[in-house]
Structure 1
Amino acid sequence: MSTVPAESVVTTASSRDGVDTGRLKAALDPEAHRIVYDQYLPREAADPLVGELDRISEVDRAHLVMLAEHGIVDPARAAALLRAIEELRGSDFAPVRGRPMPRGVYLAYEGWLIEQLGDETGGILHTGRSRNDLNATTARLKVRGPYLALLEAVDGLAGVLLEKAAQYADVTMPAYTHGQPAVPITYGHYLAGVAGPVLRAYGQLLDAGREIDVNPLGAGAIGGTSVPVDPQRTAELLGFTATAPNSVDAVASRDFALHLLSAAAVLGVASARVAKDLSTWTSEESGLLRVADTLVGSSSMMPQKRNPFLLEHIQGRSTASLGAFVSAASAMTTAGYTNAIAVGTEAVRHLWPGLSDTTDAITLLRLVVAGTEPRPERMAARAREGFTAATYLAERLVMEGMPFRAAHHLVGETVLSALDSGRSLEETSRFDHDLAPDRVAAACAHGGGPGTDGLPPLKAQLGTYRAQLTDRQDRWSTAASLLTDAVRNAVREPVRP
């Protein structure tokens, strides 16, 4: 009868912290842990009512500054109203949060201001404005945070893909079609290929973001306003780049939600496909890739396991935006082209989880790509064993004058002979050609093959998109400071940033 040494018992006990499993000696990457496990932990979420009131009051600040600057309302009354709004913002809207809201958040908030300041002052807040153009504006403000988070995740993934593509540009592996070894490429060439749809999605997201940079204020309920408001000024104060040219479109449309979800869905499909590849190549049977211990999990029962389970989370979350798109589009089709709850509320509510889950999936994929190393010897062996040089050999025969179909047939017979004899294609072929997979990959220098250096244009594209992202971040940040200064000048005393 065997016994477990005492020191082993101590080691086992000390490993119950969930880090040392015996096979795995490192904890899961903290960023991956947050995405995968923190969803199950209780957390104090920010009060959504406070968030909505914060966005409403941000629009109010810009609107009041504009009204006072243009002499539409008395500057002194606007200043008093701005002071009251700043006090509310400083208290996280505590006086408003406890009020009944039978007609919605905005009217409860406006009602409190009228009670405190009187109708002559509190009642000027809604001059030249409707809840319709207000809601269209706050929806655009709300999406900025999730939108930037997704863009930053996509930027990070694109950067890692291009970095690793350069690092592994000479690591030869088989490209697979129908699950079978096809032709030799490099792991770097594969990663550069993946960067293609990621960068296209980056561009599509930036394009979709131009719609959230349009200021709907001034559209009123749907027909504009006779009050001489200045949407260009409120656009400047809120960080928009343009004003809505048509009042109907301004309040009826939430196309930006569909375009963002569409771009995210296309990106998600590509991400799920890449996760499928990586899942196959990291299996013990394939053994082409090895994922770092910080990105795998163990089994609660089987001590030998190294499970690249993050890839399953990527597959599961990456297409949430596709479902969100279908749900949002379906909700919109029930409404006429006017201001509608089905559009502004029911459709748009699918945007937040769609963007959030896509951001998580892209972040996890970045971590896995960065923390995964190829196994060059195994990759090279599979390229040889899979006869991946066969197409190249047929093409060499074509260049020497043989019709392609005849060359195809002859090389096919050569592969069959090699299989029967247990030898490689190089050993079996009676033709004088270098069929080493790495040489073959390097020779494929046409049609965007692995013998070309396709990284410079991809890097240039990433640089262009990064500049656009930085410009948008800076513009929104600058507008926030500009608005704070404008409010400070209006009330003539320090206010909350």
Structure 2
Amino acid sequence: MSAIDAIHALDAIACRTETAVRDGADTGRLRTTLNDEAHRIVYDQYLSGSGSGRDGMVQELRLISEVDLAHLVMLAERGIVDTGRVAILLDTISALRADDFAELRGMPMPRGVYLAYEGRLVERLGERIGGVLHTGRSRNDLNATTVRLKTRGPYGELLTEVAELADILLAAADVYRDVTMPAYTHGQPAVPITYGHYLTGVASSVLRSLAALLEAGREIDVNPLGAGAVGGTSVRIDPHRTAELLGFTGAAPNSVDAVASRDFVLRLLAACSTLGVTMARVARDLSTWTSEEFGLLRMADDLVGSSSMMPQKRNPFLLEHIQGRSNAALGGFVAASSAMSTAGFTNAIAVGTESVRHLWPGLRDTLDAVTLLRLVVAGAEPERERMEERAVGGFTTATYLAESLVMDGMPFRKAHHLVGETVLSALDQGVSLTEAGRDRPEVAALAPGDGSSWLDPADVAAAYAYGGGPGATSTEAALRRLTAELERLHDEVTARRARWTNAADRLTTTVRALVESS
């Protein structure tokens, strides 16, 4: 990606995140409202709540009925149930879906949503038609199937958002590849790097997490329908056909594993946890660098908050939300694995219900943290002069000076000691490392020309081209490699989501054709 392309990418993000003016937005110090996406994440969910029980019931029925449509098509195609009865069931179920299951709302459900729903079909259509729906399956394999379908939505959104975060990191890294700053170890200035180099490092970790998320989600593409209660069925069903109709890549080869396992819950939460650790660490860095004491970065007005009491404040509070939500998946992983470990290796409520319920907040909060970090990275501007000042004042070129002495023939430990003394001298005199080095013959001999700026942090950063350092050729190579990796992973994300969408469309077409031909 060229610098111009990268700038355009950042501009595109800014355009997508323009905010609407809200009452009370002008605080005197801050003239814009909070970014719309950030406002939705931080505030709107507390106003709207997490959704009613009725909404949850409708969502569950939509998932169940989607599986029903595929299952009934397969039963008809295999000749297990005659097409006439299947067509009536398909038509009735499709009508319920179109009406958002209105006639089921308010019904007593003493044995759960599915049995109330199946009972309603039997009541309307009679036992001979409504009673064939459950042929060759159990609630166990049905539940194992619907939870995979339910996961697709938030999981797919997360994949896309992580890819967008990586894209913004790489775009910003390209734009700021020459902005020199100190790298920090133990909270102290260490060596000169660039802000772009730092962002490239973050992008590397984010892309590994994207790859891990893709791998962790492969299990949700395996169709468990047909496993029955735990031992399969004697009915000659075709799980590969229902897999095709529902957008899975294949059928589960073992019935025990199909209903006993929810490994994908643990794997997804683990992958989210790893990504969350990276995001929390980055948020800590940015929180430090945006403080008045450091002043290395400045956040856009629509990404900071004011104070209800202190009019001078510009609080980068979104970074605290990133840190908080980044840890949700870790808590979910511990809770889910603890619940799952209490069950034997068969169908169990501890596995299918108690462990799975921790997946949804884990995915949601990780998605929110990723979105907020994307907004922050796109809206953070480096304070170039301050970064350079801290790179000089922190003596970040000292290691380069020691290595230069080594290349001139001095043993490293002796060079290390000599440069340490030179730094101490610079501190005592209140001068730069370059100036202090003039009093030491071994150092002065290395300075080219008048030696006025030979220890400039920008030049030193450019010289660190080995071992993955910030040198120009090294950064270019890293950005090319990471961009290619992002394109590969993005293609996989797109293909996976397209397969799910296309399967849903094909299922609708197949159902309509079967009903119309009967």
TM-score (norm. length: structure 2): 0.91
- What's the % identity of the aligned pairs? 70
Which amino acid in structure 1 is aligned with residue 493 of structure 2? Answer: L
1:281-317 Cα shifts (integer Å, max 9, x gaps): 0000000000000000001111111000000111111
* Aligned partner letter, 1:233: R
Matched, 1:442 2:500: no
Distance, in Å, in 2 between the alignment partners of 1:217 and 1:311 is: 43
* Residues 1:337 and 2:357 are matched in the alignment: no
Q: Aligned ranges for residues 467-478 of structure 1 at < 5 Å?
A: 467-478=491-502
Which residue does the alignment assign to 2:28?
22
Q: How do residues 68-83 of structure 1 correspond to structure 2 at under 5 angstroms?
A: 68-83=76-91
How far does the alpha carbon of each residue in 1:85-139 deviate from its partner, in whole angstroms, 9 at most, with x for none? 1111122112222222121111111111111111111111111100000000000
Distance in 1 between residues matched to 2:359 and 2:49, nearest whole Å: 22
Alpha-carbon distance, 1:70 to partner: 0.8
SS of equivalent residue, structure 2 residue 48: coil
1:52 to 55, 60, 67: 60
Equivalent residue letter for 1:435: L
Matched, 1:484 2:490: no
Amino acid at match of 1:102: P
User: Within 1, Cα distance between the matches of 2:341 and 2:501?
Assistant: 35
| Alignment match, 2:256 | 248
Aligned to 1:8: none
1:31 CA displacement:
0.4
Structure 1 Cα separation of the partners of residues 370 and 176 of structure 2: 21
| 1:33 corresponding residue in structure 2 | 39
- Which amino acid is the alignment partner of residue 488 of structure 1? R
Distance 1:331 1:139 in 2: 17
CA distance in 1, matches of 2:424, 2:46: 55
CA displacement, residues 207-264 of structure 1 (integer Å, 9 cap, x when unaligned): 1111100000110100011111111110010000011010000000000011000000
CA separation in 2, counterparts of 1:103 and 1:273? 46
**1:197 Cα deviation after fit:** 1.3
Q: How many residues align?
A: 480
Structure 2 residue matching 1:492: 3-state secondary structure: helix
CA contact (8 A) 2:22 2:33 kept: no
Name the SS for the 1:175 alignment partner. strand
CA RMSD of aligned residues (A): 1.3
**Deviation, structure 1 residue 40:** 2.1
| Deviation, structure 1 residue 155 | 1.0
1:238 pairs, out of 242, 246, 252, with 246
Structure 1: gaps spanning 5 or more residues = 1-14
State how far apart, in whole Å, the 1-side matches of 2:24 and 2:377 are: 24
Pairing 1:360-399 to 2, within 5 Å after superposition: 360-399=368-407
Matches within 5 A, 1:3-402: 17-42=23-48, 45=51, 47-402=55-410
Residue of structure 2 in register with 1:9 after alignment: none
Distance change >3 Å, CA 427–CA 153, structure 1 → 2 = same
Q: 2 CA distance for matches of 1:180 and 1:121?
A: 74
CA shift for structure 1 position 400: 1.1
Distance 1:16 1:323, change over 3 A: closer
1:414-454 superposed Cα distances (whole Å, 9 cap, x missing partner) = 00000001110011113234210000000001100001121
Give the drift of 1:147.
Answer: 0.2
Whether 2:485 is the aligned partner of 1:464: answer no
Whichever residue aligns with residue 205 of structure 2, its letter is P
In structure 2, C-alpha distance between the alignment counterparts of 1:43 and 1:16, rounded to whole Å: 21
Provide the secondary structure at the position in 2 that maps to 1:190: helix
Q: Secondary structure at the match of 1:32?
A: helix
Q: Aligned AA for 2:23?
A: D
CA–CA distance in structure 2, aligned partners of residues 81 and 382 of structure 1: 72
Question: How many angstroms apart in 2 are the aligned matches of 1:333 and 1:472?
Answer: 30
**Alpha-carbon distance in structure 2 between the residues aligned to 1:173 and 1:356:** 34
Deviations 1:440-495 (A, max 9, x none): 0000011000011211111011000100011011101110111011101111089x
1:166 and 1:344 map into 2 onto residues whose CA distance is: 45
Looking at structure 2, the residues matched to 359 and 344 of structure 1 have their Cα atoms a distance apart, in angstroms, of 23
Write the letter of the residue equivalent to 1:36. V
Q: Distance in 2 between matches of 1:185 and 1:305?
A: 30
Q: What is the rounded CA distance, in whole Å, between the counterparts of 1:484 and 1:87 in structure 2?
A: 12
Pairwise CA distance, 1:39: 2.2
Gaps of 5+ in 2: 1-20, 448-453
Q: What is the CA distance between 1:270 and its match in structure 2? A: 0.7
Deviates more, 1:455-464 or 1:428-437: 428-437
| Residue 19 of structure 1: how far off its partner (Å) | 1.2
Taking structure 1 as reference, are residues 16 and 352 closer, same or farther at Cα in structure 2, changes over 3 Å only? closer
Distance 1:16 1:105 in 2: 42
Q: 1:307 to 1:493 in 2, by over 3 A?
A: farther
Q: Which is worse superposed, 192-201 or 429-438?
A: 429-438
Partner Cα separation in structure 2 for residue 312 and residue 391 of structure 1? 34
Q: Equivalents in 2 of 1:90, 1:491: separation in Å?
A: 15
Conservation of the 8 A alpha-carbon contact between 2:395 and 2:433: yes
- Greater than 4 Å deviation, 4+ residue runs: none
Q: Which amino acid aligns with 1:247?
A: S
The alpha carbon displacement at 1:44 in A equals 8.5
Deviation at 1:43, TM superposition (A): 5.3
